[in-house]
Structure 1
Amino acid sequence: MDRFLQTLMDAIAVGSLYALIALGYTMVYGILKFINFAHSDVFVLGAWLSFVGAGIAGLDPAREASIGPWVFWVLAALWAAAGIAAVYELVLRPALSRRLDRRLPAPRWHLNLSLVAAWGSIAVGVLHLAKGAASAGFGFAAGGIILLLAMMVCGLTGFCIERLTYKPLRRAPRLNVLITAIGVSLLLQNIGQLNWMFGTRPDRMPTLLPEAELFTIGTAVRVRLVDVMVVGTAVVLMVVLDWLVFRTKIGRAMRAVSFSPPNASLMGINVDRVISFTFVLGAMLAAAAGFLFSQKYPGLNQTAASGWVLLGLKAFVAAVIGGIGNIRGAMLGGLLIGLLEFFVAQYLPDGASLRDIFVFGALIVVLLFKPSGVLGKSATEKV
């Protein structure tokens, strides 16, 4: 019985992380009907950003880091470009339009620059807040601030990916978008392996949560603080997402765009903003999963390592099994994959080497007998 309960606890913890990653896949597919293969790389980015943030905040005694001056130069350049665009929009464009007796086109990028600059500046401020909390002895609070920082930076990354790579291909054939997604994934992998980023050697995430056992179930089932925090944080994020999608105005807009982007546009919904918001939201959830995963399993590797690739693929499998495009289906699929993986590894002979076979075998079975997934609905297309 103790063995069963310990396996169940580990399965729920990892399954909840699979669910967080799967939500990004399923939200993007639900709106744009394509798979964002760069999503798993954003998950790894969240883990590495947490590692770097912990070093800058002084939470990692073995490695102290600082914010490079290039960060401030980039932010200054963004603010300068946004200021020039604002001057053109508010002063020069109206004057030139009157002089030339025709309306000049408005720049579409000045708001994006302002948003990126503001978001980046807030992220730097949050990092300094984490450093102050760590120096004051509030390491636990600093860990939560670093989680927020990773979510903010990955959200900004998701916004830039959507605006720079996917938005220009909105009306392109789906194969073009798919190839672009693979290209973005490879780009993120190779940028992350540069020496001035994260490098190629493995590292270890510092422990931001105390190594404490809260209580013991039975005789040998240890309930650790890190497991409770992983499951609790993941559940809170999933509940907030469910409320956001099904109980708020932006959630109704997301569901309308998912149903029919042209009809949503006719109803006054800004489709581009909804799509960008979806990418940001999915990237932030992936970053949270990366932070939590690095706390439970502190060993960090780059995306090219087989273990990280499999994590992203298993999260995609969870989204498909639960019903790709279905928010609650992704949550259920993540838990199912976690349970299947851990119980196979625990109870079958040589199960540790067979766990991945069973996960992808479950995907094949679901695609054969219920291609829409457990909670997905079959859609008929009129030709």
Structure 2
Amino acid sequence: MGKRIVMVGAGLSGAVIGRMLAEAGHKITVIDSRDHVGGNCHTQRDEDTGVMVHVYGPHIFHTDDEEVWNYVNSFTTFMPYKNRVKSTVDGQVYSLPVNLHTINQFFGQALRPDEARDFIKSKAEDIAEPQNFEEQALAFVGSDLYKAFFKGYTEKQWGCSPTELPASILKRLPLRFNYDDNYFFHKFQGMPEDGYTPMIASILDHAGITVKLGEMFDPATAGDWDHVFWSGPLDGFFGYELGRLGYRTLDFKEFRYDGDYQGCAVMNYGNADVPYTRITEHKHFAPWESHEGSVLYEEYSRACEPHDIPYYPIRMVDEKAMLSDYVAKANETTGVTFVGRLGTYRYLDMDVTIREALDTGRAFLAAEEKGEALGAFLKSPV
């Protein structure tokens, strides 16, 4: 007889785990406080323009994980999409990530790849072991490119000096000595033809799954279920009793334009005196469609308050200390597994979220077969 299992959150984690366990014969209830499935991946058609809007900011699917790619394509049709980001700095528009075109344009050069490598090496500062984001950037590209493309943007995005951020953040940003302006380098890249929400709704479309929207789950009732998968904030499960983990949140100022406003999906603004980090023009996320009108977001980053939507875990020293305490509490809790970006307090791309959800579902089924209980985390957040 199948177990009664609740997924708290109707985003990617809850949908993927729920589908797998439903197919194995368990009775799944998915509960979400919002009035839609999809979590922050939620998309919807704008009534006036017909543009598919990424309601909580843009989500671009990219992965090298072939199983994950095949999985999402089994629930929707993915269309080809390459993310080509631009950046406006001091009244000029450049390509990101920093590539050979960016370097030549910025410095007024016509360098070949090998010449550009030597040129940037001459600009880079000799810092053997960078201790923070700023030192890492200076060691990578030198002062000029750092100030133009990284310093102001980072200050706005994280609300602090780059000297306070770990060097590891910048290690994810590529520097290219060719003219490749595809922001991501993964084998599989695309966008769901009809948006993410129908895709996730399709994953949840199973006779063994009941979806309840607009409802809050009370952690005190966790014992009423055979197992709980919690994709809400880790600290929220415990009523924030040890304090609140730090997040950055985003505010979106929507505006409309008759025509094509910026000619690309994402335009960063590197100067610190421009209050928003970027402008996203949503119709360009679906280049196979044609729309006269346009829907755009100015994106502002700030510290997350109690009633805001958390986006980016900060994971600074104070947060990591508190996180260790919450992880200890979670490991003492039975019948609950914490999943997803919020549940594990880690920055996870969509493909990694799905990969971990698939692995978590399989781990649950394997543990059940052995008569064992699944622990609090598939991968420890600390």
TM-score in terms of structure 2 length = 0.23
Q: Greater relative contact order: 1 or 2 (C-alpha under 8 angstroms, separation 6 or more)?
A: 1
Return the TM-score normalized by structure 1. Answer: 0.23
Higher strand share goes to which structure? Answer: 2
Task: Flag the structure with higher helix content.
Answer: 1
